[in-house]
Structure 1
Amino acid sequence: MILHQIRVGDIGNFNYLIGCPDTRRAAVVDPAWEPRKLLDLAAREGLTITHILVTHCHHDHVQATGAVKEVTGAAIHIHEAEAPYLKHFFPPPADVAMHDGDVVKVGNLAVRWLHTPGHSPGSSCLWVEDALITADTLFVNSIGRTDFPGSEPEEMFRSIQRLKRLPDHLTVYPGHHYGPTPTTTLGEQKRLNPFWRPDTLEAFLALTQPDNDIL
């Protein structure tokens, strides 16, 4: 698998380029701010962008979807719970509404869609081989905010419990560079992330009040 993490913009956003080395087909994840970086990198790698995968529709994760689609013609995929919101930000609308457990085939790569609400109603993680793109559900040693319109702390707690059940060796690729390193592993987060320590919803809610340092 080809996987590039590209830092863009002024708030530490990460865009991702996922490529199949056999077919040279590729997907971009959450294109925003500097789409030329994604497009130029794909060209240098000899990759054809066929998919745009959107983990959630906050402005800083969808701002360049239209620009990338205009150049590539790639289909925009987003979870069904998030799709209605996309049209309120930037055209074009989603081409494919995804559901939990769906698989997107990018060449010979299978990208599994995991619905992990909490930060937003349709927030999702993308699991491909040994990589887990967690966007704004999970950062390095932190989690996404749950005080936005559409956010639900209770859903975030349930999403964390789900991620805890995934293999420790998976490399986590977050949506922002907010931690000490750009990536981590699920095993490290189980040990180090303070927001993953509560075992009950009540303890989690006590920790995630606005006066806590949650990103």
Structure 2
Amino acid sequence: MDIVRTPQGLYKTNCYILKENGYALIIDPGFHGHRIMREIGEAKPVGIILTHGHADHICAVDALVEHYHIPVYMHPMDDELLRVKRRMPSGYKERFTSPYIALEEGPLQIGPFSLNVWEVPGHSAGSVCIGYQHILFTGDTLFKGTIGKVNTYNGNPVAMKATLEKIKTFNPAYVVYPGHGTSTTLGHELATNPHLVSHE
């Protein structure tokens, strides 16, 4: 297995490309579809999965779908984000128009990739975490040393509090790949992240 991390755009949004046995799964293609295609190389993409619907995580979706003819997966609670008027960098659409398959919590098979999906609202209503083997893609829910903002459109601090309690039950051996910044481990975050450390 190979994981390619390619930060995209002004906010350095992490797009991840999972590669396994000649196949690829694209996670959060924010911008610069041509750069993502270059990183995919000779692998065969089987799908795009979105941790949430904020603009900096989705702007290359249509370009990749047009090129590869692959399905898109997103939680439907973030559908409203596709209709919100936002300021975008020159040359980018503010939403994707390709149809998507609705994510829900539980196991998910995309080509050869056996995933687990968890609903983790807070940063957005449709935020999800995606587990693959020993890896946890957390989008903008959990970062190294902190968590995502909740004062965003359709964010919710009460939902985030419940989400953090849920994350505390995950396997601490997970290697966390967040939507921005560097990777960490869930065990490290459980021990040091001020939003996850239990205060008894």
* CA deviation profile, 1:86-110 (whole Å, cap 9, x unmatched): 3554232432111111413332x20
Q: Provide the residue aligned with 1:210 in structure 2.
A: none
Q: Secondary structure at the match of 1:194?
A: coil
Q: Are 2:168 and 1:172 equivalent residues in the alignment?
A: no
What residue in structure 2 maps to residue 27 of structure 1? 25
Q: What is the TM-score normalised by the length of structure 2?
A: 0.89
Aligned-partner Cα distance in 1 for 2:165–2:135: 18
Runs of 5+ unmatched residues, structure 2: 85-93
Aligned pair in 2 of structure 1 residues 155, 198: CA closer, same or farther (>3 Å)? farther
State yes or no: 1:90 paired with 2:95. Answer: yes
Structure 2 CA distance for aligned equivalents of residues 66 and 74 of structure 1: 10
SS of the residue aligned with 2:106? coil
Q: What displacement does 1:158 show?
A: 1.0
Aligned partner letter, 1:120: S
Give me the whole-angstrom Cα distance separating, in 2, the residues matched to 1:83 and 1:94: 11
Aligned pairs (5 A) from 1:1-215: 1-21=1-21, 24-43=22-41, 46-86=42-82, 89-107=94-112, 109-177=113-181, 182-197=182-197
Partner of residue 207, structure 1: none
C-alpha distance in structure 2 between counterparts of 1:25 and 1:87, whole Å = 32
Report SS of the residue matched to 1:82: helix
CA distance in 2, matches of 1:149, 1:174: 20
CA distance in 2, matches of 1:64, 1:153: 29
SS in 2 for 1:122: coil
* Mapped partners of 1:199, 1:72: distance in 2: 48
Using the aligned pairs only, state the percent identity. Answer: 25
Cα distance, 1:198 vs structure 2: 5.1
> For the Cα contact (< 8 Å) 2:47–2:110, is it kept in 1?
no
Check whether the contact 2:65–2:98 (CA below 8 A) recurs between aligned residues. no
Alignment CA distance shift 1:39-1:11 (3 Å): same
RMSD: 1.7
